[in-house]
Chain A
Amino acid sequence: MLEIKNVSKTFNPGTINEKRALTDLSLSLNDGDFVSVIGGNGAGKSTLLNAVAGVWPVDSGSILIDGEDVTGMPEYKRAKYIGRVFQDPMMGTAPNMQIEENLALAYRRGKKRGLKWGVTAAEREIYRAKLATLGLGLEDRLTAKVGLLSGGQRQALTLLMASLQTPKLLLLDEHTAALDPGTAKKVLELSDKIISDNKLTALMITHNMTDAIRHGNRLIMMDRGKIVLDISGEEKSRLTKADLLERFAEKTGVQEETDSVLLS
Chain B
Amino acid sequence: MTMSVYLSALSVTNLISRMPAAVAQGIIWGLMALGVFITFRLLDIPDMTVDGSFATGGAVTVMLLLAGMPAWAALLIAIVVGVLTGLCTGFLHTKLGIPAILAGILTQFALYSINLRIMTKANQTASVQKFGMFWENGNGFLVSSLHIPQAILVGLVLTAIIVALSYWYFGTEQGSALRATGNNPAMSRAQGIHIGTMKVIGLGISNGIVALAGGLMTQFQGTADVSMGRGAIVIGLAAIVIGEILCDAIFSKGCNFAVKLCFIIFGGVVYYAVMVVILWLKLDPNDLKLFTAIIVAAFLAIPQLKAQSKSSFSRSKKRAISERSDA
Q: Which of B185-244 contact A (CB under 8 A)?
A: 186-195
B-side interface mostly = helix
User: Do A113 and B179 have beta carbons less than 8 Å apart?
Assistant: no
Cα distance A11–B195 in the bound complex, in angstroms:
24
CA–CA, A119 to B180, complex, Å?
14
**Number of residues on chain A facing chain B (CB within 8 A):** 32
**Closest CB-CB distance, B222 to chain A, in whole Å?**
38
B308 within 8 A of A: no
Are A96's CB and B183's CB within 8 A?
yes
* B284 lies within 8 A of chain A by Cβ: no
Report yes or no: A79 in contact with B183, Cβ–Cβ below 8 A.
no
Judge whether A14 is part of the interface by a CB distance below 8 angstroms: no
- Closest Cβ–Cβ distance, residue A210 to chain B (whole Å): 28
Residues of A within 8 A of B183 (CB): 94-97
Q: Taking the complex as formed, is B172 at the interface, i.e. its CB lies under 8 A from any CB of chain A?
A: yes
Which residues of A lie under 8 Å from residue B189 when comparing CB positions? 75-76, 79
Tell me the A residues contacting B by CB distance below 8 Å: 53, 75-77, 79-80, 82, 84, 86, 91-97, 101, 104-106, 108-111, 113-119, 161
Q: What would be 13 A-B contacts, judged by CB atoms less than 8 Å apart? A: A79-B191, A80-B192, A82-B190, A84-B190, A91-B184, A95-B184, A104-B176, A105-B177, A105-B193, A111-B192, A114-B173, A115-B174, A118-B176
What is the bound-complex CA distance between A76 and B199, given in angstroms? 14
Q: How far is the CB of B257 from chain A (nearest CB, A)?
A: 11
* Chain B residues with CB under 8 A of A108: 173, 191-192
Size of the B side of the interface (Cβ < 8 Å), in residues, is 22
Pick the residue among B172, B186, B191, B194 that contacts A105 (CB under 8 A). Answer: B191
- Tell me if B171 is interfacial: C-beta within 8 Å of chain A: yes
Which of B171, B189, B193 has the most chain A CB atoms inside 10 A of its CB? B189
A-B CB proximity, top 9 nearest: A79-B192, A118-B176, A94-B183, A113-B173, A94-B184, A109-B192, A115-B172, A94-B180, A113-B174
* Mask: chain B, 59-83; 1 = CB below 8 Å from A; 0 = not: 0000000000000000000000000
- With a cutoff of 8 Å between Cβ atoms, the chain B residues found around residue A84 in the complex are 190
Report which residue of A82, A94, A111 has the largest number of chain B beta carbons within 10 angstroms of its beta carbon. A94
A54's closest neighbor in chain B, by CB? B189
Besides A79-B189, A113-B193, A118-B172, 19 more A-B contacts (Cβ < 8 Å) are A53-B190, A76-B189, A86-B186, A91-B187, A93-B187, A94-B187, A94-B188, A95-B183, A97-B179, A101-B176, A105-B176, A109-B191, A111-B192, A114-B172, A115-B174, A116-B172, A117-B171, A117-B172, A119-B176
**A-side contacts of B192, CB under 8 Å:** 76-77, 79-80, 108-111
**Is B132 in contact with chain A by the CB < 8 A criterion?**
no
Cα of A161 to Cα of B188 in the assembled complex, Å: 12
